[in-house]
Every structure is written in structure tokens, then in C-alpha cells.
Amino acid sequence: MAFLDYVPGMRTGATGRNVVLGVVYVLLLPVLSTLAFVWVPVYVGINYNGIARDLSSVPGISPDGGWRTAVVAFVYVTVISLGPRIVGLLLGM
């Protein structure tokens, strides 16, 4: 499966459209990263595009998705996103 199959709105052979969408996605990156706390668990929970199957080697992620998998994905996103800040607060930095 090509990279463009994973990116919403992009099409193989439509270079101009893909460039414009790429610029829009870069401009929306702060919003999208903030919403990652919502969309990552939802996508993993419903196994969108086989993402839960691809991440099933990570402890707690079931290849079929589901609520438990969505909660685990939320915990992973939270720890990855806020982990350095929490460690800094604990160490008094």
C-alpha cells in the first residue's frame, strides 16, 4: 500500500492537489497534534485501516481493536506527549 493511501484526501498522480493538501496539513499540525488525544485512541479502537493490527506488537494493543485497546492507546499518547513535562515537574526543573 502506497503512502498516499494512508493520507486522507491525497490521490496518486494528483501532484498539485497533494502539494496543497500537504501545506494545509502542515498549517493544521498544531490543531491535529492537540486532537491526537482523541483521534489516536478512536482510530486504534476501531482498527481504522488496520492500525491496531500494525501496532499489535506494542503491549496492550489488540490486533482487533476495541475499548481496552483504545484506552491503552490513550495512555500511550498521554505518556509520550506529557512525559517529559511530568518528569521535569517531578525533578523540580
Most confident of 33-37, 58-62, 77-81: 58-62
How far apart are the C-alpha atoms of 36 and 80, rounded to whole Å? Answer: 11
Torsion of CA 51, 57, 63, 68, to 10 degrees: -100
Query: Over 60: is that where the pLDDT of 24 sits?
Result: yes
User: Residue 73: what pLDDT?
Assistant: 94
Q: Percent of the chain having pLDDT more than 90?
A: 47
User: 14 or 64: whose pLDDT is higher?
Assistant: 64
By mean pLDDT, which of 34-38, 49-53, 57-61 is the weakest?
Answer: 34-38
- What is this structure's pTM? 0.64
